[in-house]
Chain A
Amino acid sequence: MIARMRLAVGVLALAAGVSAQAEPPLPPPYAGAYQPQGVDEQGFWQKMDEEERRLAQSDMVIRDPALVGYVRNILCATVGEDRCGAVRPYILRVPIFNANMAPNGTMQVFTGLLLRVHSEAELGAVLGHEFGHFEARHTLERFRAARSSTDILAWAGVLGSLAPSYDVVRAYRNLEITLISSLYSFNRDHEREADRLGIAYLNNSNLRPQAAAQVWERLIEEYQADALSKGLKKPRLDRVPFYATHPPQVERATTLALLARPEAATRDDGAARYRAALAPWLPQLLDDQIKLNDFGASEYIIQSLAESGWTAPLWHARGELYRLRGAPRDLVQAAQFYGEAIALDPAHPEAHRGLGLALLKTGQAAAGQKALLRYLELKPDAADAKLIGMMIPKEVPAP
């Protein structure tokens, strides 16, 4: 709420100062198969090609042609058919909000991003932003700046290998992760340029450019909800991978709102199509989020997805979230949420399982065992079927 107010104030302030801000232009027509120039860029591309080979083999990559194709289509719809040919998207099963693009055309989209955007236009806004970095070749400048830090990495590796403890190896690996992400963390000017490019793509597409601001607005709210539930004064946005060097989110949301072409506000943002395409993956993405033990953020994500209508997977996820936290009042609420899921989809096996466990733990043994029995009927080959079976006395009649 406060974010909204600050945002509104920001919009006014900016509108006064930048009312004459012109709509950002698109870069010149796309030149097609670009080849790296000069020793720095060629070397960097080679490194990225090697990285891509490794990525393509990774077990973290989701290899669902339908989902990958859909994400690719959204990118193409955003930046245009001629541009998107240069991109090879990979979807990584990582439950955080992030996406990045290497200069050789490798695009990494994290599942945490897919869970958090609500429409094709919103996903297009983020992918277009990353594509903007790619088209403006920001990574090359970062690479030149980062060569000194790569030397640091080499030395840390040598010293780390001298030390005997596993913890040192782990610390070294953390260092490596930081450095690799430092190649991707652009400075604020780069971010602003990519934002402007991203919105220019959207303005020229068939998608609704106003969606770009929504993404950041919702993200601020998520971090605030998370901080609130942890009893923190305010969220540490600088610790979040995608944000560390990004412009202040409020500034960003306001700028994006201003740059969006006003007459495009009535365009379709493809929210219904997005929900349909993501539906097969939604239960898994929700599960990945819930098991991060981040109660405030997970609750916010579920609630905001439910704005377009509660579904059985959403109720079930909420039940799981509350049952995992496990305070007595949580269990009572979890049972209620599982009940809502079952009302919408009586054949949802995991909802019956959750209901049964929540009831058992709140002292309602008979009803709990009945729900567990229904779970086993619906999913006789479940991994935990035998153990659940032992919790049900034989004489309980079938529901």
Chain B
Amino acid sequence: MMSRLIAALAVTLIVALLPSAAMAHKLREQGVAVSIADSPLTVTPGRDWNRLDGNVGKHTETWTLDGGQLNDLTFFAGIEPGKPLVRERSKKREPLPKFGAGTLLVELPELFEATYRTAKQIADFRVTDVQPTRFLGQDGVMFTYEYVDQDQLTRKGEAHAAIVAGRLYMIGFDAPRLHYFERNIGDFHRIVQSARMS
């Protein structure tokens, strides 16, 4: 136990003392179209956002206003068949569910749910609504969900997804149910509406 503690402490120390220049978050300015994770997906934010440095997966980007725990806007820009939505901590020991060539639109909420439950090791996750929608000029799916994270805070979320040329494109927004979700859901919708394939 003790040696694991010391190891954990050492890791925290090393990360804490890294030069902060390596952690470059980027401002995403209002009205300026940007491409997401070097993919054809482009959005034009309706207000300033911060793009967090570091990502949860190869084709992802995370934006926030007040920090990732208060509003988390994650883009999944072109997930290939056979790949998980986010990076696997251990391919062998903790595999994540994979997006597949045969995955149906109606199965995307299930894929998202299973990814969250597996990656976060939580049980309390509910998909509250699933609706057909148009996204990126295609038939897509919009779904809302609610979950209790390991910090025991209940969060609400909404995601819009479509499959374009065999790849999955999805934008999701998570925020605490109390206050933060309602406050910024409009900003999220503006980003979804501005999403284009260039």
Contacts and interface: CB of A to CB of B under 8 A. Distances in A.
Interface stretch (A68-76, A303-311, A337-345, A385-393): A385-393
B1 A168 contact: no
Contacts of B110: 324
A279 interface: no
Interface string A309-330: 0000000000000001010000
Interface string A28-56: 00000000000000000000000000100
A383 B128 contact: yes
A96 interface: yes
A111 B123 CA distance: 9
A149 to B, nearest CB: 6
A294 B117 CA distance: 11
A249 to B, nearest CB: 19
A245 interface: yes
Contacts of A155: 9
Given A182-B1, A384-B130, A357 B16 contact: no
Contact of B152 (A58, A164, A244): A58
A5 interface: no
Contacts of B5: 149, 152, 178-179, 182
Contacts of A185: 1
A292 interface: yes
A353 to B, nearest CB: 9
Contact of B124 (A59, A179, A386, A388): A59
Interface residues of B, number: 58
Interface string A162-181: 11111111011111011100
A383 B117 contact: no
Interface in B117-168: 117-118, 121-125, 127-132, 141, 148, 150-152, 154
B185 interface: no
A232 B128 contact: no
Nearest to A361: B102
A167 B15 contact: yes
Interface in A355-379: 357, 360-361
Given A60-B152, A182-B5, A387 B131 contact: yes
B123 A326 contact: no
Interface in B37-55: 52-54
B184 interface: no
Most buried by B among A159, A293, A324, A388: A293
A174 B11 CA distance: 12
B54 A165 contact: yes
B53 A165 contact: yes
B121 A384 contact: no
Given A149-B2, A291-B117, A163 B96 contact: no
A171 B12 contact: yes
Given A59-B152, A60-B148, A293-B95, A384 B109 contact: yes
A251 interface: no
A156 interface: yes
Contacts of B11: 171
Given A230-B95, A232-B93, A293-B95, A173 B12 contact: no
30 contacts: A59-B152, A60-B152, A93-B123, A93-B124, A95-B121, A156-B9, A162-B16, A164-B23, A165-B52, A166-B54, A167-B15, A172-B12, A173-B150, A173-B151, A175-B8, A175-B9, A178-B5, A230-B93, A291-B114, A292-B117, A293-B95, A293-B97, A324-B114, A326-B98, A326-B103, A361-B102, A383-B129, A384-B106, A384-B127, A388-B106
Interface of B: 1-2, 4-5, 8-9, 11-13, 15-18, 20, 23, 25, 52-54, 67-69, 92-93, 95-98, 100, 102-107, 109-110, 113-114, 117-118, 121-125, 127-132, 141, 148, 150-152, 154
Given A232-B93, A383-B128, A390-B132, 12 more contacts: A60-B152, A93-B123, A93-B124, A159-B17, A165-B52, A167-B54, A175-B9, A292-B121, A293-B114, A326-B100, A387-B131, A388-B106
Interface of A: 54, 58-60, 93-96, 111, 149, 152, 155-156, 159-160, 162-169, 171-175, 177-179, 182, 185, 230-232, 236, 244-245, 288, 291-294, 324, 326, 357, 360-361, 383-384, 386-388, 390-391
